[in-house]
Amino acid sequence: MDNNLRRTVATTFKLNGFALQSDATTYLVGILTPLPENQKLLWLDRIIDKVQKQPLTSTLIKKDIAELAAKECGKGEQHEQSDVISFIEAFKFPKIRYDKDRKKFLPSNEMSSVLAVASEKPQMYHNRYSLLLQRTLHHQLFTPNVQGVEWETDKKKYNLQALEFLAGCTSKVGDVIVLGMITQLKEGKFYLEDPTGSVQMDLSATKFHTGLFTENCFVLAEGSYDDGIFYVNAIGLPPPEESSVTRTYHGNVNFFGSTSTLNHDRLLVLEAENEGAMLVFVSDVHLDNVLVLEKLKTLFQGYENSPPVAFVFLGNFLSYPHGNQSCLVLRDSLKALADVISEFSNLVENSKFVIIPGPGDPGFVNILPRPPFPDVITEYFRSAIPNAVFMSNPCRIKYCSKEIVVFREDVMAKMCRNSIYFPTTGSVPTHFVKTLIGQSHLCPLPLQVCPIYWSFDHALHLYPLPDLVVIGDKCDPFTEEQLGTNFINPGSFEKTDFAFKVYYPFENKVDECQLPSEQ
């Protein structure tokens, strides 16, 4: 056996952050040996590309993973179209935790359960804190100066302090910056908390920067500490981080969970070949309203000759609660929608129809993430529409190179109601979007306001930033672009006179659309 080739295979995987088991190395050497010398490294790189696209739970590559990657390399281009778009349920998102000692994200081998043990609750907040801390320390304001590298003299460097540092101070300390979570440990008194302790805050003279600040929100607080009280001069969100920067630090980590076996370059080519591809997003689709069904028929007529990649429908799908008949009404309403779609054969064959439940829809308890509708409700729709996709809330969509997160919850309205300080300048959507980016989380609210399964909190993380975030909220529609990411709210379909959003992946552009009103 070629020892040089064996060494090359092991080294190449190691350079990409993986370790090969002995039998996996033997297998790869065996399939690469018959190839011409100028082809071996090329095929080895292809195999590594396939490995990186798999939902790995460890950086140790076993033989079965290597075999699967090698088989995928041998597939022809006829398999590519099925890999162009993929859908990932929240309960299948990769669970990745930051290891502060190794300074990298690693897959978590812990089993997640909706009935989590008590220790999972503090661990949930600790994971959020660790993610934001490492992101903050990447920012140029908090990175230490490197010897021999010039730094602009007018740019000041800052040091983060842990709360245990303040607890050990016996005299007044000024100009302190702390990363912590806002809590209310005593009625009417706000505290700042991190893994090392907590301290009461005095917010009487605090300047709040851009954002919506609620309990359980992580902030950078600057001020002075004296006699057990942290007198906060300014509060702001942790500094944001562009997706490209995140991938520079953690390049080979599969945060998103996509299982596409096509490499990034090939996906970009397919994306360019379908530059007119689009995804249509419609929220609050009240199927128990006859007028809504008529408008959806008009919508389908408009797209019949140029089918979108997908129609993404977000709940609520019922305009009001129907008591103990809600499941039956929803089943019949979905049947009516399927019958309408069936009239457009071109759409049935070429478009995906994605259904995502809303907070007011019948089914499972309203705790996030919420599973898809059960089969008893969707059976007819699935049989009538083969391209139907019933997803969890939230869920993720990968189209070619573009990453899309879809979430249906009145989260902006809830954040406005529960904010400890409501901004007096700027637009609310801008404050809202910057808060989500700053928190790297879809729902940074107290659990009593928006319950979350502790073990599945990672399903609501926004890190790294995707290309598109769809927030279905009952508030007015908006489109905000921040750090190369589009944040959109389609608004309530019926209440906005049948408005919806259309996303063009190739251009990374969003169009605001509306059905014509009846004359």
> What is the domain-level CATH number for residue 35?
1.10.8.60
Tell me, yes or no, whether 379 and 488 share the same domain: yes
Q: Which structural domain, as residue segments, surrounds residue 19?
A: 3-74
Element of type H or E holding 236: strand 229-236
As a whole number of angstroms, the distance between CA 493 and CA 332 comes to: 20
Structural domain includes residue 144: yes
- Contact status, residue 21 vs residue 61, Cβ threshold 8 Å: yes
For residue 260, the model assigns a pLDDT of: 62
Tell me, yes or no, whether 103 and 179 share the same domain: yes
List the beta bridge partners of residue 479: 488
As a whole number of angstroms, the distance between CA 409 and CA 29 comes to: 50
DSSP state of 467: S
> What is the domain-level CATH number for residue 482?
3.60.21.60
Structural domain includes residue 228: yes
Structural domain includes residue 81: no
| End residue of a domain, out of 13, 43, 74 | 74
Q: Where are the beta strands (DSSP E) in 131-205?
A: 173-186, 189-194, 197-202
Q: Which residues contact 160 (CB under 8 A, 6 or more apart)?
A: 133, 136, 137, 142, 177, 178, 179
Q: Count CA atoms within 13 Å of residue 461 on its CB side.
A: 26
Cis, bond preceding 316 (omega within 30 deg of 0): yes
Tell me, yes or no, whether 491 and 351 share the same domain: yes
- Contact status, residue 232 vs residue 179, Cβ threshold 8 Å: no
Tell me, yes or no, whether 351 and 388 share the same domain: yes
Tell me, yes or no, whether 190 and 57 share the same domain: no
Give the three-class secondary structure for 24. Answer: helix
For residue 78, the model assigns a pLDDT of: 43
Tell me, yes or no, whether 48 and 125 share the same domain: no
**What's the residue count for the chain?**
519
As a whole number of angstroms, the distance between CA 344 and CA 515 comes to: 18
Structural domain includes residue 187: yes
Q: Are strands 229-236 and 218-226 parallel, antiparallel or unpaired?
A: antiparallel
Tell me, yes or no, whether 14 and 102 share the same domain: no
Give the three-class secondary structure for 487. Answer: strand
Q: Are strands 279-283 and 499-504 parallel, antiparallel or unpaired?
A: antiparallel
Tell me, yes or no, whether 305 and 388 share the same domain: yes
Tell me, yes or no, whether 270 and 373 share the same domain: yes
Tell me, yes or no, whether 498 and 391 share the same domain: yes
Phi and psi angles of residue 130, each rounded to the nearest 5 degrees, phi first: -60, -40
- Contact status, residue 486 vs residue 503, Cβ threshold 8 Å: yes
For residue 343, the model assigns a pLDDT of: 98
- Contact status, residue 20 vs residue 66, Cβ threshold 8 Å: yes
What letter represents residue 3's amino acid? N
Tell me, yes or no, whether 457 and 309 share the same domain: yes
Structural domain includes residue 42: yes
> What is the domain-level CATH number for residue 223?
2.40.50.140
Q: For 259-275, b where at least 16 C-beta lie within 10 A, e where not — what string?
A: ebbbeeebbeebbeeee
Phi and psi angles of residue 141, each rounded to the nearest 5 degrees, phi first: -70, -20
Structural domain includes residue 397: yes
Structural domain includes residue 418: no
Our count of domains for the chain comes to: 3
Structure tokens at 354: 């994605």
Tens of pLDDT, residue by residue, the chain (519 residues): 478 889 899 999 888 888 999 999 999 988 888 888 878 888 888 898 888 877 777 788 989 888 888 887 765 444 455 578 999 999 999 999 999 898 899 988 888 899 999 999 999 999 999 999 999 999 998 987 655 555 554 567 889 999 999 988 878 998 999 999 999 999 999 999 999 999 999 999 999 999 999 999 999 999 999 999 999 999 999 999 999 999 999 877 889 988 665 667 778 888 998 999 999 999 999 999 999 999 999 999 999 999 999 999 999 999 999 999 999 999 999 999 999 999 999 999 999 999 999 999 998 888 999 999 999 999 999 999 999 999 999 999 999 999 999 999 999 999 999 999 999 999 999 999 999 999 999 999 999 999 999 999 999 999 999 999 999 999 999 999 999 999 999 999 999 999 999 999 999 999 999 998 764
Q: Count CA atoms within 13 Å of residue 175 on its CB side.
A: 4
Tell me, yes or no, whether 492 and 372 share the same domain: yes
Q: Are strands 104-107 and 96-99 parallel, antiparallel or unpaired?
A: antiparallel
* Residue owning tokens 């406005």: 416
As a whole number of angstroms, the distance between CA 305 and CA 302 comes to: 8
Angle between the 3-15 and 37-52 helix axes, to the nearest 10 degrees?
A: 40
Structural domain includes residue 302: yes
